[in-house]
Amino acid sequence: MYGEIGAGWVRFLHTSDWHLGRGLHRVPLIEAQRVFLDHLVETARQHEVDAVLVAGDIYDRAVPPLVAVELFDRVLRQLAGAGIPAVMISGNHDSARRLGVGAGLMDGAGVHLRTDPEECATPVLLRDTHGEVAVYGLPYLEPQLVREQFAVETARHSAVLGAAMRRVREDLARRPAGTRAVVLAHAFVTGGATSDSERDITAGGAASVPASLFDGVHYAALGHLHGCQTLTERVRYSGSPLAYSFSEAGHRKSMWLIDLDAAGEVRGERVDCPVPRPLARITGRLEDLLADPSLERHREHWVEATLTDPARPPEPMARLSARFPHLLALAFAPEQAAREGRRSYAERLRGRDDQRIAEDFIAHVRPGQAPDAQERAELRRALEAARVGERNA
């Protein structure tokens, strides 16, 4: 299928990992996702992009909530109404079968859903004054499910994705000389930086694949990792448009505006995404966190607090929430436990009798709270009973 585009640079807007329907801890993010998608459509209009590329994980779950489906339907209608083609692939969070329903009908409206592995080498074709631009959509390929389909010996991500890319190159070799090629893929490429909010894909064999798998195409629009990053000038992750874990507190959420010239040279520019509320991670003793004036800047942020008090203080969540109304997560990492963790097990036991070892174990599993006098007495009686039983055995 062909779409006519203007002369000069071919321009794409590369995004991924929308995770529609997902929240951050107990906070729903559907309204923030709606704001982002409106921003995406407006960005595509303002920059006169020739196509929007969505590299997987459109939904957060295989069976998404109705509000997420409605939001997806809304953005599809907006893009089609604006006459902006879109190429989208399924990710490891998506149900490829569900996402691909109606794909054949949507093609006519300029919405190209690529969820079937058999379509890896069937590109969406765009044309400008310099010739064709072939856009190949490679949905997430679960090795165990597609191993036979791609005739590979091992169920590894590198094997199945490599087989898919061979099909792409074979198709590209049959096209007119000078055809520029773009690939969408959803994978963990070696060298990429991970976040806590990405679902582990190692169950399908060794997870990472080399960037060299994409040699021979002019641009690889990647999805799966949530941080925007450039692995090579031609291989990039857009990252997720919103932060879905506190490990992303330092991320700059954005999309890639990618231009390809007549020779297929790449020029990339980041376009920032709207931030519903900044994230902050704070660490220290409770009283310090409550009093430190430098932390006032985080009052309106979503906050994750890690307390280092030797003993768990009373009502920490309520007291911290009074200063940080948007506190979402609370963790404990006692200073004494951290120091003990740096010593070997043998070093920690050296010179300690059974009573002390038992008391230290209680303090370990109940951070910062050593056994009281009654508990110590009970431990002493239990240990003595065990010794007596051992002597009489």
Look at residue 72 in the predicted model and tell me its pLDDT: 97
Look at residue 199 in the predicted model and tell me its pLDDT: 75
What tokens appear for 8 in the block?
């000069």
What pLDDT band is residue 9 in, cutting at 50, 70 and 90?
confident
Q: What is the pTM of this model?
A: 0.83
- Residues 6 or more apart in contact with residue 33 via CB below 8 angstroms: 18, 20, 68, 71, 241, 242
Q: Out of 27-36, 314-323, 330-339, pick the least confident.
A: 330-339
Q: Please write the tens of the pLDDT for every residue from 324-339.
A: 999 999 999 998 654 5
Q: Please write the tens of the pLDDT for every residue from 47-75.
A: 999 999 999 999 999 999 999 999 999 99
Buried b (16+ CB within 10 A) or exposed e, 151-187: ebeebbbbbbbbbbbebbeebbeeeeeebbbbbbbbb
Q: Please write the tens of the pLDDT for every residue from 90-145.
A: 999 999 999 999 988 899 999 999 999 999 999 999 988 889 999 999 999 999 89
Same domain membership, residue 52 and residue 149 = yes
Query: What is the pLDDT averaged over residues 250-260?
Result: 97
Q: Which domain holds residue 35?
A: 10-272
Nearest of 308, 254, 306 to residue 280 by alpha carbon: 306
Given 272, 287, 306, the domain boundary residue is 272
* Separation between Cα atoms, residue 237 and residue 57, nearest integer Å: 13
Would 3 be classed as within a structural domain? no
Would 370 be classed as within a structural domain? yes
Same domain membership, residue 377 and residue 232 = no
Would 5 be classed as within a structural domain? no
Look at residue 356 in the predicted model and tell me its pLDDT: 75
Q: Which helix (H) or strand (E) holds 51?
A: strand 51-55
* Separation between Cα atoms, residue 130 and residue 124, nearest integer Å: 17
For the residues of 249-317, what is the DSSP string, one character each? TT---EEEEEEE-TT--EEEEEEEPP-SS-EEEEEE-HHHHHH-GGGGGGTTSEEEEEE--SSPPSSHH
What pLDDT band is residue 385 in, cutting at 50, 70 and 90?
confident
- How many domains in the chain? 2
What tokens appear for 269 in the block?
């520019």
Q: How many residues does the chain have?
A: 393
The stretches of the chain forming alpha helices (DSSP H) are 30-46, 66-81, 96-99, 103-107, 143-146, 157-173, 286-291, 316-323, 335-341, 345-349, 354-365, 373-392
CB 188 within 8 A of CB 140: no
Tell me how many degrees the CA angle 160-164-165 measures, rounded to the nearest 5. 115
Would 1 be classed as within a structural domain? no
Same domain membership, residue 260 and residue 205 = yes
